[in-house]
Every structure is written in structure tokens, then in C-alpha cells.
Amino acid sequence: MREIDCRLVEEKVHQFLDGELSEREADVLRHHIDACAHCLDETDLVDALKKLVKRSCTCPPAPAALRLRIVSQIKTVTVTRFDL
């Protein structure tokens, strides 16, 4: 796994949350955030994802595919964190 810079994570995290990154990029980002307490704090990734899910649950027009993608991202984050 190629190492990436904390600043790159900060730049990319919004695209990540919007699901705009390629699967490979998102994976690299997830791995870094999971291993880097600084980025986890900075990005509040899990909180942000939870808010996104909450928003799509109270907002019926949110496409089911998007909600599925967000949920699977949360699962991946949770599973990787528990692996530590």
C-alpha cells in the first residue's frame, strides 16, 4: 500500500465523503485515516458519514444506491478499526 500524505487526505476527504473517488483512491484514503489518529481527528470521518446517513434517511429523494454506498463505507471503516 502506497503511503500518502496527511495533507492529501485533508484535500481528498470531501471527495471521499461525496463518493467521488475511485475505489482504489478511497481504499488508500481509508487505510491512511484508519492508521493515522491525526487524520481521524481532523476529518471526523465516522461522524461525517453518520451525518450523511442520517440525512439520507430523513430525505426520501436520496437514491438507494448512494445510501448503500455510504453504509458500506461505514462498515469498512468500522471493520478495519476493530481489526487493530
* Chain residues in the site for Zn ion (CB under 5 A): 6, 36, 38-39
Question: In the complex, what is the shortest distance from the CB of residue 55 to Zn ion, in angstroms, rounded to a whole number?
Answer: 26
Dist. CA 15–CA 58, nearest whole Å: 22
Query: Half-sphere exposure of residue 38, counting CA atoms within 13 Å on the CB side?
Result: 7
Residue nearest to Zn ion (CB): 36
Task: Specify the residue, 36 or 53, whose C-beta has the smaller distance to Zn ion.
Answer: 36
Task: Specify the residue, 38 or 54, whose C-beta has the smaller distance to Zn ion.
Answer: 38
51-60 contacts, C-beta under 8 A, 24 or more apart: 52/17
Question: In the complex, what is the shortest distance from the CB of residue 24 to Zn ion, in angstroms, rounded to a whole number?
Answer: 18
